[in-house]
Structure 1
């Protein structure tokens, strides 16, 4: 309780703002509050302070009902890419030890040479990071982010980046195999036999994906030996992606449409 309430207030008997705040917040004892309320109700200036505190409390309480702005899909994709980079760094640091993580061992059995442990890194940070991203159905992009989104090849904006010469990425429909391939697809823009972004958009739209959603990566693949072009999309969940693979002839039925990664 403040000194003013103890009798050291103004000569006119007015109550200070600090004491009024304690009274409004219920910080005073019942006997102190019972003594102060008659004085406050009889003093227009004190009453105005109480009403202002009540209005501020109501305004603050209304903020919890305000909708949260979703995180743009390209930002979520960059966060996932940063997690993958962090995991690769950890693997390099562990290379000189005899300790091999379980995720790493599983990945080696599934696909030799592919990045492993991506889901383990996501699980390590999911308790501290909450990310809300628009689902595959759409969402606005936000400019001004520190790191640029994966870019198209300079010159013809409709053309994809040239292949690195290694040919299509060979995959199976096994979830572990698909999850292990995330790092090899993410940030790539290789439309393969579809050649251009416009032909790619037409194919994924026929397969049921939204062309307004920017893919996190595009790459030619084979799935159980069948040729396809695979697009990787964020889902709004940390370290989780939707894979949509279309055939080069743009048939309406997708070769693959599956959610992989954490919780997939």
Structure 2
């Protein structure tokens, strides 16, 4: 997947890119992924550029400059070392703050676009990988990550309403999470829960403990059957084989 994304972005060296293109041409699944990346990139190109508001950028710059002044002042006594002549060609390199700010803004814009591309590509991968299609009734065991003793356990995401709805920030948080309630930390229990909710294979793309109107539930992000569309399935803690325990079944994006 990383190689395909790099190929689409044009960052591979010539020989590697040429070899990979030949493999893509011979692989229908890889061609689908490349097509999804291209379609998503086209959609993103039609959006207005993402920039940091000037007032926010100004506050960030001021805070960074304050930190630089603070640490320069604090570390000055510790830097009293004997003066030595630097060899020719080893002059100190000074960071151009304005140039660094421009690079940071550029990375912010590019990164936001890649998030959308990665999400769409992930949906395609889930749909085309062996063992995850609708015509395959054998679920591959997902491997949830349970919180280990001593690790920080995030509080459940508190939601309200008739069904689960997420804003963009909340969706990103859930996609980046792999947090399961204790009962669904068991892979076999999770498989049974997914099958009971007509999910035939693959690991959820994101998982997070939530409360919906005060009720503890498990939120699972699954492909939604379309480019950039995702299924938000919330189930009770007793979900398992033969017991879907569906709390909410909604969609995001599309």
TM bucket (normalised to shorter chain) is: 0.3 to 0.5
Asked which structure has the greater CA Rg, the reply is: 1
For normalisation by structure 2, the TM-score amounts to: 0.43
> Higher helix fraction: Structure 1 or Structure 2?
2
